[in-house]
Amino acid sequence: MEKINDLFEAKVTKTIEAYPSIFSKDDVVELLNDLKTNVLNAVHDMLPQPSAYMNDEKKFDEFSQDVKNCLEQYLDNSSNEVINYDSAEFCLTYDRRIELEDIELNSCNIIEELDSILIDKWKEFYGEVEENE
Protein backbone atom coordinates (compact mmCIF):
# COMPACT_ATOMS: atom_id res chain seq x y z
CA MET A 1 0.00 0.00 0.00
CA GLU A 2 2.95 2.27 0.56
CA LYS A 3 3.81 1.94 -3.14
CA ILE A 4 0.32 3.14 -4.09
CA ASN A 5 0.64 6.00 -1.64
CA ASP A 6 4.02 6.98 -3.16
CA LEU A 7 2.52 6.95 -6.67
CA PHE A 8 -0.23 9.34 -5.61
CA GLU A 9 2.26 11.60 -3.82
CA ALA A 10 4.36 11.74 -7.01
CA LYS A 11 1.28 12.73 -9.04
CA VAL A 12 0.36 15.42 -6.52
CA THR A 13 3.90 16.80 -6.67
CA LYS A 14 3.86 16.84 -10.49
CA THR A 15 0.50 18.63 -10.43
CA ILE A 16 1.83 21.32 -8.09
CA GLU A 17 4.88 21.88 -10.33
CA ALA A 18 2.88 21.86 -13.60
CA TYR A 19 1.71 24.83 -15.66
CA PRO A 20 -1.75 26.20 -14.85
CA SER A 21 -4.85 24.90 -16.65
CA ILE A 22 -8.61 25.41 -16.41
CA PHE A 23 -8.50 23.66 -13.03
CA SER A 24 -6.50 25.24 -10.26
CA LYS A 25 -3.62 23.31 -8.78
CA ASP A 26 -5.48 23.20 -5.47
CA ASP A 27 -8.52 21.61 -7.15
CA VAL A 28 -6.40 18.90 -8.74
CA VAL A 29 -4.41 18.27 -5.54
CA GLU A 30 -7.64 17.98 -3.54
CA LEU A 31 -9.08 15.60 -6.13
CA LEU A 32 -5.97 13.40 -6.12
CA ASN A 33 -5.80 13.32 -2.32
CA ASP A 34 -9.46 12.32 -2.14
CA LEU A 35 -8.90 9.68 -4.82
CA LYS A 36 -5.84 8.38 -2.96
CA THR A 37 -7.83 8.00 0.26
CA ASN A 38 -10.64 6.17 -1.52
CA VAL A 39 -8.27 3.83 -3.37
CA LEU A 40 -6.24 3.04 -0.26
CA ASN A 41 -9.40 2.28 1.69
CA ALA A 42 -10.73 0.07 -1.11
CA VAL A 43 -7.43 -1.81 -1.40
CA HIS A 44 -7.28 -2.25 2.35
CA ASP A 45 -10.81 -3.67 2.38
CA MET A 46 -9.98 -6.10 -0.43
CA LEU A 47 -6.87 -7.48 1.24
CA PRO A 48 -7.37 -10.62 3.26
CA GLN A 49 -7.45 -9.67 6.89
CA PRO A 50 -5.31 -11.76 9.21
CA SER A 51 -7.60 -13.98 11.20
CA ALA A 52 -6.80 -13.71 14.86
CA TYR A 53 -8.22 -17.15 15.55
CA MET A 54 -6.05 -18.85 12.94
CA ASN A 55 -2.91 -17.28 14.37
CA ASP A 56 -3.72 -18.35 17.90
CA GLU A 57 -2.66 -21.99 18.05
CA LYS A 58 -3.50 -22.33 21.74
CA LYS A 59 -7.07 -21.15 21.18
CA PHE A 60 -7.46 -23.56 18.26
CA ASP A 61 -6.14 -26.41 20.41
CA GLU A 62 -8.74 -25.55 23.05
CA PHE A 63 -11.43 -25.47 20.36
CA SER A 64 -10.31 -28.85 19.03
CA GLN A 65 -10.21 -30.42 22.49
CA ASP A 66 -13.69 -29.10 23.31
CA VAL A 67 -15.07 -30.59 20.08
CA LYS A 68 -13.44 -33.95 20.86
CA ASN A 69 -14.81 -33.92 24.41
CA CYS A 70 -18.34 -33.06 23.28
CA LEU A 71 -18.32 -35.76 20.60
CA GLU A 72 -16.97 -38.33 23.04
CA GLN A 73 -19.65 -37.39 25.57
CA TYR A 74 -22.34 -37.71 22.89
CA LEU A 75 -21.07 -41.14 21.84
CA ASP A 76 -20.89 -42.33 25.46
CA ASN A 77 -24.36 -41.07 26.41
CA SER A 78 -26.29 -41.77 23.21
CA SER A 79 -25.53 -45.37 22.44
CA ASN A 80 -29.13 -46.01 21.29
CA GLU A 81 -28.83 -43.25 18.69
CA VAL A 82 -25.36 -44.27 17.56
CA ILE A 83 -25.50 -48.07 17.51
CA ASN A 84 -28.16 -50.03 15.65
CA TYR A 85 -28.57 -52.93 18.06
CA ASP A 86 -31.07 -54.66 15.75
CA SER A 87 -28.30 -55.16 13.21
CA ALA A 88 -26.01 -57.06 15.59
CA GLU A 89 -24.66 -60.32 14.17
CA PHE A 90 -23.27 -62.96 16.49
CA CYS A 91 -21.42 -66.18 15.95
CA LEU A 92 -20.80 -69.21 18.10
CA THR A 93 -17.13 -70.07 18.29
CA TYR A 94 -15.70 -73.56 18.43
CA ASP A 95 -15.22 -73.30 22.21
CA ARG A 96 -18.91 -72.38 22.71
CA ARG A 97 -18.41 -68.67 23.16
CA ILE A 98 -20.73 -66.12 21.61
CA GLU A 99 -18.90 -63.32 19.84
CA LEU A 100 -20.20 -60.15 18.26
CA GLU A 101 -19.30 -60.40 14.60
CA ASP A 102 -20.79 -57.17 13.22
CA ILE A 103 -22.93 -54.23 14.25
CA GLU A 104 -23.96 -51.11 12.34
CA LEU A 105 -23.30 -47.56 13.43
CA ASN A 106 -25.80 -44.84 12.59
CA SER A 107 -23.22 -42.61 10.93
CA CYS A 108 -25.86 -40.05 9.94
CA ASN A 109 -26.61 -39.35 13.61
CA ILE A 110 -22.90 -39.03 14.39
CA ILE A 111 -22.34 -36.65 11.47
CA GLU A 112 -25.34 -34.50 12.41
CA GLU A 113 -24.16 -34.29 16.01
CA LEU A 114 -20.59 -33.47 14.96
CA ASP A 115 -21.90 -30.74 12.66
CA SER A 116 -23.94 -29.29 15.51
CA ILE A 117 -20.99 -29.46 17.91
CA LEU A 118 -18.66 -27.78 15.43
CA ILE A 119 -21.06 -24.91 14.79
CA ASP A 120 -21.79 -24.40 18.50
CA LYS A 121 -18.13 -24.51 19.50
CA TRP A 122 -17.09 -22.27 16.61
CA LYS A 123 -19.64 -19.66 17.71
CA GLU A 124 -18.43 -19.99 21.30
CA PHE A 125 -14.76 -19.54 20.39
CA TYR A 126 -14.80 -17.31 17.30
CA GLY A 127 -18.19 -15.65 17.00
CA GLU A 128 -21.03 -16.08 14.54
CA VAL A 129 -20.71 -18.30 11.50
CA GLU A 130 -22.56 -18.25 8.19
CA GLU A 131 -24.43 -21.49 7.68
CA ASN A 132 -24.70 -22.79 4.11
CA GLU A 133 -27.79 -24.88 3.57
Average pLDDT over every residue of 103-107: 83
Tell me which of 28 and 60 has the higher pLDDT.
60
Q: What's residue 5's pLDDT?
A: 72
**Are 25 and 15 within 8 A, CB to CB?**
yes
Residue type, 74: Y
pLDDT tens digits, one per residue of 58-90: 777 888 888 888 888 888 887 778 888 888 888
Instruction: Decide: 125 and 67 in contact? Cβ < 8 Å.
Output: no
Q: Name the residue ranges covered by the structural domains of the chain.
A: 2-46, 52-126
**Strands (DSSP E) found in 1-133:** 83-92, 98-105
Report, as an integer, the average pLDDT of 21-33. Answer: 71
